[in-house]
Structure 1
Amino acid sequence: MDFKDQIKLLGDRFSKLKDQVNTEEATKNAFIMPFIRELGYDVFNPMEVTPELVADIGTKQGEKIDYAIMKNGDPVILIECKHHAAPLNVNNASQLFRYFHTTKAKFSILTNGLEYRFYTDLVEPNKMDEKPFFAFNITDIRDNQIEELKKFHKAYYDFDNIVNTASELKYTYELKKVIDKEFNEPGADFVKHFTRQAYPGVITAKVLEQFTNLVKKSLQQYISDMITDRLNAALTKETKKQEEVNTTTDSSAEDTRIHTSEEEMDAYRIVVAILRRKLPTNRIVHRDTQSYFGILLDDNNRKPLCRLHLNGGKKYISLFNENKAEVRKPINSIDDIYLFEEALLETLGLYEGESKTTT
């Protein structure tokens, strides 16, 4: 099982267990320790994961951080834990802020076991940012978030690689929150931006109020239409793919049911004998189907010379007149094909005349 599957499985498990986890300590044992373990660290090895790391800070002596992920004897990631029902914000991350600048750790995580917020020092060196650069809810984690989380796995951990993308992640995260807020409750400046481009008059308070609802409605419809278009495109692509599979399957199945008889091949040789004085034999091609045995000019479906129905109780030859309409004639045996020599030559002349005209 790969990392993505393991994390999603963990999220599903947490969703089912959360109603049974009633304390902060239980949250650590049921949610946070398994999460750290999935990042590749041995939670029972203090050389890799140190619980209740102590660091004296000024007058505050003996304060402890819940977990520290260690490397070469130094903490690299600090983890502060809360009960899974507790909200996460900077007000309950005070220990992380204090510990961050007194240790060598460059990353910290504030978590309640379900939501995880990752911090670093993008704004001011050695001072933990007030806003996370990466955040997710493990019960509803996206594939792209799993790829970012994977960078913190013991096997892939690379400080420089994480830092290089941290800034982009942080501002993408913040922008998504802004967009979400504006889409649900458009602010005045946001509404004016669109109103100026759609409304020719003066934007009064009444107009702004009217367009606030219009902008919100338009955004929702636009997103809905965009999703519908993508779904339709995906469905169309899938339908075409399935049709191709079905066509291939049907053709393969049909091929296994077709058996060209010796009588049909003898009939083909009679038609070749009639027409070979007018054209090379390699231009006269037979193609067998479940319904009939066809003989074509130049292996072209649009140029049938005749069709033979020899496998039923009664035998027929289908000829084609000047309008290319099929005319079925009964025959007693394939020898009767000679009776239609003139019709076959006329059909050939029709196709050859078309070729000359085209040329």
Structure 2
Amino acid sequence: MEFAERLSALAAKVRQQRGVIETEEATKNAFVMPFISSILGYDVFNPLEVVPEFTADVGVKKGEKVDYAIVKDGEVQILIECKKSIEPVKIEHASQLFRYFAVTNARIAILTNGETYQFFTDLDAPNRMDAKPFLVLDLNDIDETLLPELQKLSKDVFDLDSIISAAGELKYIGELKRTLAAQFREPEDEWVKFLTARVYTGAYTQRVREQFTTLVGKATKQFLNDQVNERLKKALGAQAYAPNDDVAAAVVSSQPVAEADLAEADAIETTLEEIEGYQIVRAIVCSEVKPTRVVQRDAKSYFAVLLDDNNRKPIARLHFNRTQKYIGLFDANKEETRVPISSLEEIYEHTEALRASVKSYL
């Protein structure tokens, strides 16, 4: 599953479960830990990568802790502070982040409630966390233009220098977009006055202000609709052609097959839990092969982990589409044995069997 798909899967989980998440600990377990694991790619069960309840004594009030510190190459790179998902994210919640940012090597700080993630760095003053984020990720409304920058924070392609160099532009573009969006939703008087002056030559009286407040609201909404419709017209126009009889016949005859393929694809739902299980299996067998050779392939009844994307080289199968979960292990004859598990952590108990499967294909 690609980076964007994993993010979409987490967003779907947030939408499904937000109604039952009421505490900070529940938010961490249900939303934030999967974000660290599935999106950023760090092992939340490895204290050499993810340190929960991180404490730094120098210059920090006693007893205060940051919820998570992400470590790479032996250095703290990212600090994460969490709040309950039912609370909006506010800079007032970041007091620990401000203090810890100054006494660690971290250049990235994240403030989150599991749904909105605010990313901070030190653009305004060295070793001092900015008051405004340079990137805001909202899982309820994902801005796909931010994904390439977000991916640079993931373990496999961690590129701090690139992130920092782009942070300034990201910060102001993000703020401008959010400001424009706010004006489109509910235009402020200064915005109304600015636009009114471009089209109206009379005095800007109270009556004119009230009139143009309504007109500006209507105009901005119509402008957005026009832009969307224009793009749709272009997209449809590019496909508007008249096929010859042979092509038309082929389309008609292949329609049932295509519909069947689509129906089968729709029936497959890759879950975040399957992705997390896959990452655990891949981490285990990386002692034998490069991670890029271990791939996943989802099916209706199971989630397969394969070597070299070859279904003749199965490493494991995750049977998670039922109440009782199983991991399918393969012997030398490629015969599958299903072993019940109650949690993802139990996959580690089968490390030797998983590695043996990989070795048999080498």
TM-score, scaled to structure 1:
0.66
Structure 2 residue identity aligned to 1:61:
K
Contact 2:60 2:100 survives alignment (8 Å): no
> Is 1:29 equivalent to 2:26 in the alignment?
no
Q: Which has the higher contact order (CA 8 A, sep 6+)?
A: 2
Task: Give the C-alpha shift of residue 248 in structure 1.
Answer: 5.0
Spell out structure 1 runs of 4+ moving beyond 6 A.
none
- What is the DSSP-based 3-state SS (H/G/I as helix, E as strand, rest coil) of the residue aligned with 1:79? strand
Residue 210 of structure 1 is matched in structure 2 by 211
Q: 8 Å contact 1:55–1:61 — kept in the other structure?
A: no
**Cα deviation code 1:40-79 (max 9, x no counterpart):** 1111111111111111254712321110001232210000
Residue of structure 2 in register with 1:186 after alignment:
187
User: Which residue identity is paired with 1:27?
Assistant: T
Task: Work out the CA distance in 2 between the residues paired with 1:30 and 1:114.
Answer: 11
Matches within 5 A, 1:1-359: 1-38=1-38, 39-58=40-59, 60-240=61-241, 243-244=242-243, 247=245, 249-250=247-248
Asked if the contact 2:79–2:97 (Cα under 8 Å) also holds between the matched residues in 1, the reply is yes
Aligned length: 250
Letter in structure 1 aligned against 2:213: T
Q: Which runs of 5+ in 2 are unaligned?
A: 252-362
Which SS does the other structure have where 1:60 is aligned? coil
After superposition, give the CA deviation of every residue in 1:117-167 in whole Å (9 maximum; x if it has no partner): 100011111111111110112243232232221111111111111011111
User: 1:114: Cα distance to partner?
Assistant: 1.2
Q: Distance in 1 between matches of 2:152 and 2:225?
A: 34
- Whether contact under 8 Å (2:119, 2:133) holds in the other structure is yes
Cα distance, 1:198–1:40 mapped onto 2, change above 3 Å: same
SS of aligned partner of 2:201: coil
RMSD over equivalenced CA pairs, Å = 1.9
Determine the C-alpha separation between the residues in 1 that align with 2:163 and 2:152.
Answer: 7
Deviates more, 1:105-114 or 1:61-70: 61-70
Please report the TM-score for the alignment, with normalisation by the length of structure 2.
0.65
In the alignment, is the contact (CA less than 8 A) between 1:183 and 1:216 conserved in 2? yes
Tell me if the contact between 1:57 and 1:98 (Cα under 8 Å) persists in the aligned partners.
no
| Counterpart code for 2:70 | I
SS in 2 for 1:148: helix
SS in 1 for 2:178: helix
Q: Percent identity?
A: 46
One-letter amino acid matched to 1:130: A
Structure possessing the higher radius of gyration over alpha carbons: 1
Deviations 1:200-230 (A, max 9, x none): 2222232222222112211111111221122
Deviation of the 1:247 alpha carbon? 5.0
